[in-house]
């Protein structure tokens, strides 16, 4: 288990000793649900004791300590306690609402006041987290939202604005209007409508991304006005130019045309057809993502003449001409060693560092499991990559690895900021990002600067469409069926192949694809039959077996009720027939009788397979254990991180940045996956390697390599 845990806690608060004199304790009005249990969130006040707190919430000190183990050594002022709401028989604090006035005998904090600013509650958000986001206190938030003690996803709450006190005059530092987003509106068009900057919009709407949706309510910042003539003047931030990855040679505000996006058009295709860079398109359209929609209107910058630069002084005739790389061979695909060059590589990994901003010092028993922290989702991919870089460095590779925290899920704000960094266009290789929206942006950027780009996880064919610089590591389902069909045709050339589906709908497309692939490799001796279990039950399978021939039964179902009985009957039929069973990848997650699987010579297929008995894998596991004090896991991408990094960096070392033209000469078998890339028509490269493996002596063995 990892020792390096990044713990999110309610807050790091000043440590103050509690005075001996007990103070009257007020029951908290904050109730939050943590892992399905409702808790009061209580902030320990000066002079409060455990006994007085327990009495207020009608519980016991022992119960509070059980729920908050960190206070077993003593209570301190400003500590945050969670007290289970169910432990108290008292009713939750009642509130009367009249207009927007809170009737609970509490005086609102004079430094804040409610305004029209709105925040929509996202999953796992808390009052405390929102208070930190907007730099207001929890008390101010509650005062601005009477009757909303318990947060729910999708709930809209008011955010109070801070007030700066100047003598006897109060000045509101930031005011706001509200705007409901209409269809086809963009952040750029909204910013122009209200004459505010893009940055001001983003600051006024924390959590806002470029993917705005119609119907959402935005806060529009306005120039503040003092309440009287003696108030201090507060300046609105000056508009800043949108940073671009390339210095534009056009006037952004005046020289552009509007273009309507056509069906299935990409940023790269639009940029190429108009003779501009993708980065220039993104700079001219703040908020634009790679997810274009038909009918969307975007701005195309028009290039204007720039003053001709002064001619550079000519070099002396005897001055040597510098070359970037010495010529190794007239054939670019003859392996060489380009160790004289330092390569620039970017790793875009979703570490989600914003979720790991503090360290918890509580009792070990109260710590959450590592799987609860999204920041660790892809940490083993990164660790595997580091081991690959170490190995290649010993072979002469010189590389500068630039590691960036990329977006996760639907967000793209980090990615957009990342692509404005000048060093990104100098990269020789980019690995990642891992999520679709961000990858679309980086894909267009990489095409614009001719940078090889690796997608580690997606099987979608569209990510390589119209982009010759993208490498898709994960083979599509069709590629996997094709590899399985090739393997069966080569190893069972005279077989009677029976393809069974549970009903007419389940995996019908898989059956058709597999049958098509099998016919491609069939030399004329394989017979192919089909059966639908819902129509003919066991007889539809058993009656189509042929005595005296090898019967390959491809069971395209993972039905947990059907499979055990069917495997048992096929096992019983072995006394008459020679049978080999082929199953689906997710059989690994089913509890199936290993005795039947072994007797039926069961074959499975998957993009990944790790043979833990191989010396290479044993060596990797040993190094991983020694360096990271953890066990490398297949589903945590440790092996994949190593394989991808080793393969592509090794290509840089031996073939240079243009290694794509040599891929027909390069075939590599990694620890978990093979690499055999095939160029698609008008697009990028797809890995055509897939693993077929079986159970041999109760151990999994790779069969097709």
Residue range 242-295, pLDDT digits in tens: 333 333 333 333 467 778 888 777 777 787 777 777 767 776 776 665 667 777
Top CATH class, 346-358+368-407+424-434+446-475+618-687: alpha beta
Please state which architecture CATH assigns to domain 16-87. Answer: Roll (3.10)
Residue 129: pLDDT band with limits 50, 70, 90 = low
- Among the ranges 458-467, 524-533, 564-573, which has the highest mean pLDDT value? 564-573
CATH topology of domain 99-222: Membrane-bound Lytic Murein Transglycosylase D; Chain A (3.10.350)
Q: Where are the beta strands (DSSP E) in 453-570?
A: 453-455, 470-472, 496-501, 527-532, 550-556
Pick the more confident residue, 234 or 657.
Answer: 657
Q: For residues 413, 418, 419 and 420, what is the CA-based torsion angle, rounded to 10 degrees?
A: 100
b/e code 94-103 from CB counts within 10 Å (16+ = b): eeeeeeeebe
Helix (H, G, I), strand (E, B) or coil at 533: helix
Mean pLDDT of 670-699: 89
451-473: average pLDDT: 92
Which residues belong to CATH 3.40.50.2300 in the chain? Answer: 346-358+368-407+424-434+446-475+618-687, 477-606
The Cα 32–Cα 125 span in angstroms is 10
What phi, psi does 465 have (nearest 5°)? -70, 135
Position 369 scores a pLDDT of: 64
Q: Of the spans 68-72, 83-87, 514-518, which averages the highest pLDDT?
A: 514-518
Residue 215: partners with Cβ closer than 8 Å, 6 or more residues away: 180, 181
Q: What is the pLDDT of residue 543?
A: 92
Q: What is the mean pLDDT of residues 138-152?
A: 78
pLDDT of residue 1: 37
Quick check: 17 pLDDT over 70?
Answer: no
Which pLDDT value is given to residue 692? 92
The whole-angstrom distance between residue 343's C-alpha and the CA centroid of its chain comes to 26
* pTM of the predicted model as reported, rounded to 2 decimal places: 0.56
Give yes or no for a contact between 375 and 458, defined as CB atoms under 8 angstroms apart: no
Q: Does 411 score more than 80 pLDDT?
A: yes
**Strands 691-696, 603-606: parallel, antiparallel or unpaired by DSSP?**
antiparallel
Grouping H, G, I as helix, E, B as strand and the rest as coil, residue 642 is: helix
Tell whether the model's pLDDT for residue 238 goes beyond 70. Answer: no
Average pLDDT, the chain: 75
pLDDT band at 169 (very low <50, low <70, confident <90, very high): very low
* Sign (positive or negative) of CA dihedral 560, 561, 562, 567: positive
**Which distant-in-sequence residues (6+ apart) come within 8 Å of 668 by Cβ?**
647, 650, 674, 675
- Does position 223 have pLDDT exceeding 70, yes or no? no
- 210 band by pLDDT with thresholds 50, 70 and 90: low
Whether 395 shows a pLDDT value over 60: the answer reads yes
Q: Tell me the C-alpha distance between 141 and 112, whole Å.
A: 9
Taking Cα atoms as reference points, which of 193, 242, 194, 192 lies closest to residue 221? 194
% the chain with pLDDT above 90:
29
Confidence of residue 524 (pLDDT cuts 50, 70, 90): confident
* Residue 405's pLDDT band (cuts 50, 70, 90): very high
pLDDT of amino acid 583? 93
Q: What is the mean pLDDT of residues 41-56?
A: 83
Question: Mean of the pLDDT values across residues 150-155?
Answer: 79
Q: Which of 261, 208, 132, 201 is nearest to 410 (CA)?
A: 208
Looking only at the bridges linking them, the beta strands covering 80-84 and 96-98 are unpaired
Share of the chain above pLDDT 70, in %: 72
With a cut of 50, say whether residue 406 has pLDDT above it: yes
DSSP three-state, residue 119? strand
* pLDDT score at 135: 66
Q: Considering the domain 256-301, what is its CATH architecture?
A: Roll (3.10)
Answer for the pair 191, 198: CB distance below 8 angstroms, yes or no: yes
pLDDT at 314: 47
For domain 477-606, give the CATH number: 3.40.50.2300
Q: Average pLDDT in the 198-213 region?
A: 69
pLDDT at 13 over 50: no
Which of 291, 146, 144 has its CA nearest to residue 210? 291
Residue 622: pLDDT band (50, 70, 90) is very high
Please report the pLDDT score of residue 566 as a whole number.
93
Angle among Cα 334, 337, 338 to the nearest 5 degrees reads 110
Better pLDDT: 280 or 623: 623
Pinpoint the residues of the chain covered by CATH 3.10.350.10. 16-87, 99-222, 256-301
Average pLDDT over residues 99-112: 34
- CA torsion through residues 55, 57, 59, 64, sign: negative
Residue 82: its pLDDT value, please? 82
What value does the mean pLDDT take over residues 398-413?
A: 91
């Amino acid at each position: 288990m990892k020792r390096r845990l990044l713990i999110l806690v309610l807050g790091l608060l000043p440590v103050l000793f509690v005075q001996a004199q007990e103070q009257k304790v007020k029951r908290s009005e904050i109730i939050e649900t943590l892992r399905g249990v409702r808790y009061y969130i209580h902030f320990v006040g000066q002079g409060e004791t455990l006994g007085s707190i327990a009495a207020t919430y009608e519980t016991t000190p022992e119960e509070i300590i059980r729920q908050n183990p960190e206070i077993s050594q003593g209570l301190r002022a400003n500590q945050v306690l969670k007290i289970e709401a169910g432990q108290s028989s008292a009713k939750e604090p009642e509130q009367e609402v009249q207009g927007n006035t809170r009737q609970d005998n509490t005086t609102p904090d004079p430094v804040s006041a409610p305004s029209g600013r709105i925040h929509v509650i996202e999953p796992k958000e808390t009052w405390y987290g929102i208070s930190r986001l907007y730099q207001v206190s929890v008390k101010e938030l509650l005062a601005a939202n009477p009757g909303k003690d318990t947060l729910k996803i999708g709930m809209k709450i008011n955010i109070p604005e801070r007030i700066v006190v100047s003598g006897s005059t109060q000045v509101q530092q930031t005011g706001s209007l509200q705007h409901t987003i209409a269809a086809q509106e963009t952040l750029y068009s909204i910013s122009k409508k209200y004459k505010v900057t893009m940055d001001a919009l983003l600051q006024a709407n924390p959590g806002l991304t470029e993917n705005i949706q119609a119907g959402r309510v935005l806060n529009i910042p306005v120039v503040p006005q003092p309440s009287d003539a003696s108030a201090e003047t507060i300046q609105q931030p000056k508009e800043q130019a949108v940073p671009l990855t390339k210095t534009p040679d056009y006037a952004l505000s005046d020289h552009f045309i509007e273009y309507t996006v056509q069906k299935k058009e990409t940023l790269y295709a639009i940029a190429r057809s108009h003779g501009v860079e993708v980065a220039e398109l993104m700079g001219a359209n703040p908020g634009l993502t790679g997810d274009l929609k038909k009918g969307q209107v975007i701005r195309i910058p028009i290039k204007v003449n720039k003053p001709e630069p002064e001619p550079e002084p000519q070099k002396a005739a005897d001055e040597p001409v510098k070359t970037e790389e010495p010529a190794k061979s007239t054939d670019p695909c003859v392996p060489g060693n380009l160790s004289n060059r330092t390569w620039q590589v970017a790793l875009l990994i979703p570490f989600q560092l914003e979720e790991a901003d503090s360290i918890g010092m509580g009792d070990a028993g109260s710590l959450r499991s590592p799987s609860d922290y999204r920041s660790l989702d892809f940490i083993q991919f990164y660790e595997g990559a580091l081991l690959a870089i170490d190995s290649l460095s010993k072979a002469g590779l010189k590389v500068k690895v630039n590691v960036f925290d990329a977006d996760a899920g639907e967000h793209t704000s980090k990615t957009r900021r990342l692509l404005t960094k000048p060093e990104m266009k100098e990269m020789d290789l980019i690995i990642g990002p891992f999520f679709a929206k961000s990858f679309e942006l980086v894909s267009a950027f990489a095409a614009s600067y001719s940078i090889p780009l690796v997608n580690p996880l997606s099987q979608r064919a569209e990510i390589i469409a119209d982009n010759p610089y993208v490498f898709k590591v994960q083979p599509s389902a069709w590629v996997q069926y094709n590899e399985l069909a090739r393997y069966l045709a080569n190893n069972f050339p005279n077989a009677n192949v029976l393809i069974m589906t549970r009903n007419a709908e389940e995996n019908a497309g898989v059956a058709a694809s597999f049958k098509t692939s099998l016919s491609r490799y069939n030399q004329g001796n394989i017979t192919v039959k089909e059966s639908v279990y819902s129509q003919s039950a066991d007889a539809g399978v058993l009656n189509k077996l042929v005595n005296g021939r090898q019967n390959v039964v491809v069971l395209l179902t993972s039905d947990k009720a059907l499979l055990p009985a069917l495997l048992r009957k096929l096992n019983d039929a072995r006394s008459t027939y020679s049978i080999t069973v082929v199953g689906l990848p997710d059989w690994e997650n089913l509890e199936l009788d290993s005795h039947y699987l072994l007797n039926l010579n069961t074959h499975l297929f998957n993009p990944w397979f790790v043979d833990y008995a191989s010396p290479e894998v044993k060596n990797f596991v040993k190094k991983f254990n020694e360096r990271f004090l953890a066990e490398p896991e297949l589903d945590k991408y440790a092996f994949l991180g190593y394989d991808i990094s080793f393969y592509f960096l090794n290509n840089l070392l031996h073939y240079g940045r243009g290694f794509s033209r040599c891929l027909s000469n390069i075939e590599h078998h990694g620890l978990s996956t093979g690499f055999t890339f095939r160029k698609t028509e008008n697009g990028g490269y797809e890995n055509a390697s897939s693993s077929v493996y079986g159970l041999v002596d109760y151990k999994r063995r790779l069969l097709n390599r």
